[in-house]
Structure 1
Amino acid sequence: MANIEAVNDLKITEDHWLDPVNRTVSPNQDERPMGYDISLLVIHAISLPPGEFGTGEIERLFTNSLDCGAHPSYSSLDGVHVSSHALIDREGKVTQFVPFDRRAWHAGQSSFQGQKECNNFGIGIELEGTEEVPFTEKQYSVLIAIARVLMDRYPCIQPHRIVGHNEIAPDRKWDPGPQFDWPMFEDRLRELSLLQKT
């Protein structure tokens, strides 16, 4: 999944998993409350330790196996239970932790257009990255492909309902940050949508 055509090979299974991607089940999930349509896609960014890539620590955080004594920056993560639906690493490899029909614990205290608790109706996708370093082409290509299949499967997710974590929790969160190229992402997602209709 390294180019825009990758969407042709990507699907969401009947049990709400991406295929083909790696699966590592996070315990940090539960049922979505009744009465909520899946209608929001939240883009996040994370690196553990901060500024380091490819360490495997994000997966350990999402599976409650992170050694919080292994790095000074981890002290604030002791006892924290979080997850996202999926992670895209710097090489474009995807790991899914929570099926999309279930609630991942990614947004925290949040609000979108007056509707609180975005975990109830949102899907969270993490990009491995920081505020300082641009995201990779492989990450953008795969994210766009995932966004497209999510929009097809959950039609309440529309382009204007694809947001950054900072937009739904502006007092707490910065991600995906200034390095995320929103105009390019939106243009390429639109192009892909048009290609699928021809």
Structure 2
Amino acid sequence: MQLDHATGWVAGVTHCPSPNFNARPEGEAISLLVIHNISLPPGQFGTGKVQAFFQNRLPIAEHAFFEQIKDLRVSAHFLIERDGRVTQFVSCLDRAWHAGVSRFEGREGCNDFSVGIELEGTDQTPFTDAQYTALQHLTLQLQAAWPIAGRIRGHSDIAPGRKTDPGPAFDWERYRASLHVNEDRS
């Protein structure tokens, strides 16, 4: 896994370009990493439906939940599946649509200055060793490129009351220890 700073794409992962992105505001620098979780249908893994959702190809008739989200146009920069496979949907240099209404350190609209990583999972399902390993490697690549060390948060941290992910099953201590970073979670 190797980040190309010129393009914002990571070599050695699957590329599955999403149409759901746009340019970051002029002069905006990446300064935040946001960790999420997702599963489609909810609680089901390995279905390929997250990829379809981020490409606006979700088969609506396949599941009742898909009807509820059919009009959403969202994406993330990356998805890490249960087996540790990484898929990239949007160049890190572009603005993915993952954070929604959000705030970090008094700034609104976190999509403008963040990279979003989705972990295939739920708030209550422990994440896998393979996911933590892939997340560590990906985060180290991102930290080498942009000033995000100490600026890694969950979706719930930037959208409190609206979002709960990555949830209590995500082991922040394990993740931070793998990065050799002591972040303040206040």
TM bucket normalised to smaller: over 0.9
State the 1:74 CA deviation: 1.7
Q: Aligned residue pairs: how many?
A: 180
**Residue 29 (structure 1) aligned to one of 12, 17, 21:** 21
Mark the runs of 5 or more structure 1 residues left unpaired by the alignment: 1-9, 192-198
Quote the Cα distance in structure 1 between the aligned partners of 2:14 and 2:42: 24
Structure 2 residue matching 1:172: 3-state secondary structure:
coil
**Residue 162 (structure 1) aligned to one of 152, 170, 174:** 152
Partner of 2:49: 57
Higher helix share: 1
Residue 3 (structure 2) pairs with residue 12 (structure 1) = yes
State the 1:68 CA deviation: 2.1
For each residue in 1:109-158, what CA deviation from the matched residue of structure 2 results, as whole angstroms up to 9, or x when unmatched? 0000101100000000000001221000000001011001101011x212
What is the RMSD computed on CA atoms of the aligned residues?
Answer: 1.0
For each residue in 1:23-66, what CA deviation from the matched residue of structure 2 results, as whole angstroms up to 9, or x when unmatched? 01000000000131100000000000011000000000000000
Quote the Cα distance in structure 2 between the aligned partners of 1:76 and 1:117: 24
Partner of 1:140: 132
**Residue 38 (structure 2) aligned to one of 42, 46, 56:** 46
Structure 1 residue matching 2:157: 3-state secondary structure:
helix
Runs of 4+ in 1 over 2 A off after TM superposition: none
Structure 2 residue matching 1:43: 3-state secondary structure:
strand
State the 1:75 CA deviation: 2.1
Write out aligned runs for 1:105-184 (5 A). Answer: 105-154=97-146, 156-158=147-149, 160-184=150-174
Same amino acid, percent of matched pairs: 47
Quote the Cα distance in structure 2 between the aligned partners of 1:171 and 1:164: 13
Quote the Cα distance in structure 2 between the aligned partners of 1:111 and 1:36: 16
TM-score, scaled to structure 2: 0.94
Write out aligned runs for 1:83-94 (5 A). Answer: 83-94=75-86
Letter in 1 for 2:110: C
Mark the runs of 5 or more structure 2 residues left unpaired by the alignment: 182-186
Quote the Cα distance in structure 1 between the aligned partners of 2:170 and 2:141: 21
Quote the Cα distance in structure 1 between the aligned partners of 2:72 and 2:60: 10
State the 1:79 CA deviation: 1.0
Partner of 1:189: 179
